[in-house]
Structure 1
Amino acid sequence: MQLLNTKFVTLFLVFILSATAKEKKHPLHVSTTEVNFNAKDKTLEVSCRIFTDDFESILSKLYKQKTDLSKPAMKTAMDELVKKYLTSHLQLKTNGKAVAMSYVGFEIDHEATNIYLEVEKISSVKSIEIDNNILYDLFDDQMSIVHVVKNGNRKSTKILYPDKKFIANF
């Protein structure tokens, strides 16, 4: 009987701890953004990586609809939300002038969502200014890691809430 009680208590503790772990999410609130200047194609290739659970939370909260980035049946609707969110929370200036990003798409990679955008007709880059407030409307401890790459020359920084700007000069 003692063995049965011990097994029951152990099983109960495992269940409680696993439920608590699922509720707790990850303790780090971080996203990464990379901007690559492709001189051959005269484009800026932009990619963002955001924890999927956080990203779905903010999309659901802001746009008041069910979100599931991994569900193929919802892909078209999710593309619209992802595009709307990213283009309003990430802006770029090249050589001091604002540029419009075109949304390319997103994909799920394990626990993260990778989002791809592009800016066309960029003949040269002397500076890139990034205004990034991704997930700032969800977390006040959000960190954004930003990389800007031109001809293999990488400039990187860490932006901590409430700051949101980074300028890379080449």
Structure 2
Amino acid sequence: MGVLLFKWFFTACMALHPFYVSVTEIRHNKAQQELEVSCRIFADDLENALKKQYKAPLDIIHPASKQKMDSLIAAYLGKHLLITIDGKPVKLQYLGYKIEEEAAWCFLAAEQVPAFKRAHVRNDILYDEHPNQINMIHVIVNEVRKSTKLDNPKMEADIVF
């Protein structure tokens, strides 16, 4: 049900673009004791943010160098998405991205993360580009999902289980 609702919401947003929204899902994998993070960002918005930050022509869909594009996206997300679990900063490892329809799906992970009670998320993805940017955050622990919405300039949220 949640996936269908997300797909409907994301499709509706694409049809209405320029409605500026990103969705970040943070899932705790209990068996592996890790966080699995995915960010869904409109590809054109992410590309424009990278062009502005790095002052270089870029093509996120057909990059001249996938490795260089991965490096730029990793650095961007490293500055604009920070997670703290039970008061301890989490070191996210960038895994890569893929383009699906109008969205760039970016994937990150953190190892050795035991079950937790509180996640603090700082997310200001695309805030410099869009004054009306909305960043949705979903945190899933033990199959319990909690969600919040950050409207620019609000960039921080605490999710308690």
TM-score range, shorter chain: 0.7 to 0.9
Q: Secondary structure at the match of 2:116?
A: coil
The CA distance in 2 between the partners of 1:80 and 1:27, in whole Å, is: 27
1:134-145 equivalences under 5 Å are: 134-145=125-136
Residue 41 of structure 2 is aligned with which of 45, 50, 75? 50
Q: Secondary structure at the match of 2:58?
A: coil
Unpaired runs of 5+ residues, structure 1, are 1-24
Identity among equivalent pairs (%): 41
Unpaired runs of 5+ residues, structure 2, are 1-15
Asked whether the equivalents of residues 115 and 141 of structure 2 are also in contact (C-alpha less than 8 Å), the reply is no
Give the structure with the higher percent helix: 1
Deviation at 1:109, TM superposition (A): 0.6
The CA distance in 1 between the partners of 2:71 and 2:88, in whole Å, is: 26
Q: Secondary structure at the match of 1:37?
A: strand
Deviation at 1:26, TM superposition (A): 2.1
The CA distance in 1 between the partners of 2:32 and 2:131, in whole Å, is: 38
Q: What TM-score does the superposition give when structure 2 sets the normalisation length?
A: 0.88
1:63-78 equivalences under 5 Å are: 63-71=54-62, 73-78=64-69
Tell me which amino acid in the other structure corresponds to 1:111: E
Partner of 2:157: 166
Residues 58-101 of structure 1 deviation map (CA, whole Å, 9 limit, x = unaligned):
10011011211111542111101100000100000000111110
**Count of paired positions:** 146
Q: Secondary structure at the match of 1:57?
A: helix
Structure with bigger gyration radius = 1
